[in-house]
Amino acid sequence: MRLKSSSDLVGHIAGFTSLRDVDLLEMSLLKTVFTTLRPLNVSLISLDTNNIILKRIDYSSEQVGHVSIRIKADDLLLRASEQLDRSTKEYCTLNEGDRAITVYLLSQNRRVSHYICIEAKGNIVTQSDSYQIIGMLRVFQNFRALLTEAQTDELTGLPNRKAFNNVTEKIGEAVVASPEVIECDKRKSSDEPPQFWLALADLDNFKVINDSFGHLMGDEVLVRTAQTIQGSIREDDMVFRYGGEEFAILVSAKEKEQVIQVLERVRQNVEGLDFQRLGKITISIGFTEMKDDVFALTLVETADKALYQSKSNGKNQITYQPTLSQQAYHEDIEDDAELF
């Protein structure tokens, strides 16, 4: 099947630009290309300078939205990426036996290149197809940049509270649910789903810093704290600016002890910062386990209770608060808090 007219192209573009979520936008793009050309597979690929695919999202009749992380790139993809690097063209097609891939460059920086790759039996992508796909990709890139900007904190560069809400909603649902990508519900994965823990971290005495040293110093503290937290967590963890001097951290770990190690590293590294005139700062942290049967709002409230315990017990420490079921949530759980 091919796009029969410019109105078909406009219809597809209108479909994926109606979305307000980067992940759904990517899935909608893959679906559009797949349903247009009917190849074996369409994928979004992030390839680093060590020839490792950091992330790959596949869309085919058998794998809808399947995500692979940190896998070695095959030779055909590497040859295509090298050819694109040397060429002024925006795409290239290579064949290996009866297999053909057409690769389009989406974006590139010093460390990572992003591609869309179409794999088929034989070269099914015509020059006319490529012109239409390039047009869609340009709209996609511009719209993704707008969505990313809307979910990024301007001061610290971290994902903002809106991004946090989107991510926690997805973690709670375990799958992406949308009319545009409802097939994601059918995706197959043998991997055990990751376990996440929610931590809220709040700078101690931040109001005093602003009042005594001014808002410019306060902004510097926020920026360096954000950088320090980002540098202290692992690749699978995430940090957000939740609001004001508060940060939300999602830690991927099976055991509580692993979470404590990550958060203790955050606490120590923030305490190790030194500011001219201001000196040292500290941060208090509260965390809880994220469970499928507990609302996101309840999880935040539980982590906030743990954070309050850290503040009340002298600040600059970590407290764990267990997440209870909805039935037990309104009971008094203060005695269950653990300080570290």
Domain boundaries, the chain: 6-150, 172-339
Backbone angles phi, psi at 215, to 5 degrees: -75, -25
243, 161 contact by CB (below 8 A): yes
Q: Which one-letter amino acid corresponds to residue 191?
A: D
CA separation for the pair 196, 34 (Å, rounded)? 33
CATH topology assigned to domain 6-150 = Beta-Lactamase (3.30.450)
Q: What is the number of residues in the chain?
A: 340
What is d(CA 31, CA 124) in angstroms, rounded to the nearest whole number? 17
State how far the alpha carbon of 319 is from the alpha carbons of 201, 308, 310, 325, in Å.
Answer: 10, 9, 6, 19
Q: In three state form, how does the secondary structure of 221-259 look?
A: HHHHHHHHHHHHCCCCCEEEEEECCEEEEEEECCCHHHH
Task: Return the CATH class of domain 172-339.
Answer: alpha beta
> Which of 95, 83, 91 has the alpha carbon at shortest distance from 134?
91
For residue 184, give the nearest of 17, 318, 31 by alpha carbon: 31
What CA–CA distance (Å, rounded) separates 177 from 185?
Answer: 7
The encoded tokens of residue 48 equal 């680093």
Is 331 in the active site?
A: no
Catalytic residue among 26, 119, 180, 245, which? 245
Mind listing the pLDDT tens digit of every residue in the chain (340 residues)?
Answer: 454 444 444 444 444 444 456 778 888 889 989 988 899 999 999 999 999 999 999 999 988 888 888 899 999 999 999 999 888 888 999 999 889 999 999 888 888 999 999 999 988 888 888 888 888 888 888 888 888 888 899 999 999 999 999 888 877 665 333 333 333 443 434 456 678 999 999 999 999 999 999 999 999 999 999 999 999 999 889 999 999 999 999 999 999 999 999 999 999 999 999 998 899 999 999 999 998 778 888 899 999 999 999 999 999 999 999 976 544 544 554 556 666 6
**pTM for this model (two decimals):** 0.70
Tokens of 166: 């989107």
Q: 26: left (phi > 0), else alpha (psi -120 to 50), else beta? A: alpha
Fold match, 6-150 / 172-339: no
